[in-house]
């Protein structure tokens, strides 16, 4: 059993799928220099994420990426010049820093509701 493989820049993958250049049931690997991504194109021509880019060298680059590609709900890392800072991608495709190293961590208390048998 063979596997079909498509390889190219992320920006050209969608148009190649729409034009029929990449058939269904194909593994798709992006050739972007920063970080390659891996997808599976299913029988309905929907890209299923296997491994997606999650690191960016600048906040500008990360912002442009999440505006272009739907990353809602994912956590990405952006280098701030000294270290990596995690961000969550909000519903409106904006970035919200997580922690960022300032302030203290809050303890979370879990309340056990029992077995909830009425």
Give the model confidence (pLDDT) of 67-105 as tens digits: 988 888 989 999 988 889 999 999 998 998 887 455 555
Q: How far apart are CA 6 and CA 31, in angstroms?
A: 10
Q: Which of 44, 12, 7 is nearest to 25 (CA)?
A: 44
Q: Which of 106, 100, 102 is nearest to 88 (CA)?
A: 100
Q: What are phi and psi of 19, to 5 degrees?
A: -85, -5
Confirm if 4 and 27 have CB atoms less than 8 A apart.
yes
Bridge partners, residue 85, by sequence: 78
Indicate if the alpha-carbon torsion angle 90, 94, 100, 104 is positive or negative.
negative
Is the full-model pTM beyond 0.85? no
The encoded tokens of residue 27 equal 């593994």
Give the model confidence (pLDDT) of 24-65 as tens digits: 999 999 887 777 888 899 988 888 888 888 899 999 989 998
């Amino acid at each position: 059993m063979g596997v079909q493989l498509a390889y190219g820049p992320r920006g050209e993958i969608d148009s190649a799928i729409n034009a029929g250049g990449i058939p269904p049931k194909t593994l798709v690997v992006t050739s972007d220099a920063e970080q390659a991504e891996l997808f599976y194109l299913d029988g309905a021509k929907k890209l299923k994420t296997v491994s997606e880019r999650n690191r960016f060298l600048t906040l500008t680059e990360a912002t442009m990426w999440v505006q272009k590609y739907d990353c809602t709900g994912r956590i990405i890392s952006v280098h701030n010049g000294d270290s990596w800072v995690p961000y969550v991608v909000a519903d409106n495709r904006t970035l919200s820093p997580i922690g960022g190293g300032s302030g203290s961590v809050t303890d979370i208390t879990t309340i056990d509701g029992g077995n909830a048998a009425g």
